[in-house]
Amino acid sequence: MAVSFAQFRQLALALPEVEERLCHDTPAFYFRKKIFSRLQEDREHVALAWPRAKRDALIENAPDVFASNDHLANYDYVLMDLLAASLTQARTRLEKAWRLKATKQAIAAFDGA
Specify the DSSP element, H or E, that contains 71: none
**pLDDT at position 29:** 98
- What the chain holds in terms of domains, given with CATH numbers, is 5-103 (3.90.1150.30)
Q: Burial code of 53-74, b = ≥16 C-beta within 10 A, e = fewer?
A: eebeebbeeeeebbbbeeebee
Q: Measure Cα distances from 36 to 1, 9, 70, 74, 79 in Å.
A: 23, 13, 19, 15, 12
User: Which among 8, 41, 4 is positioned nearest to 24, based on CA atoms?
Assistant: 41
When pLDDT is averaged across residues 14-18 and rounded to a whole number, the result is 97
Alpha helices in 14-77 (DSSP H): 52-61
Tell me the pTM. 0.94
Task: Inform me whether the pLDDT recorded for 1 exceeds 80.
Answer: no
Report yes or no: 78 and 72 within 8 Å, Cβ to Cβ: yes
- Over residues 51-99, the pLDDT tens digits come to 999 999 999 999 999 999 999 999 999 999 999 999 999 999 999 999 9
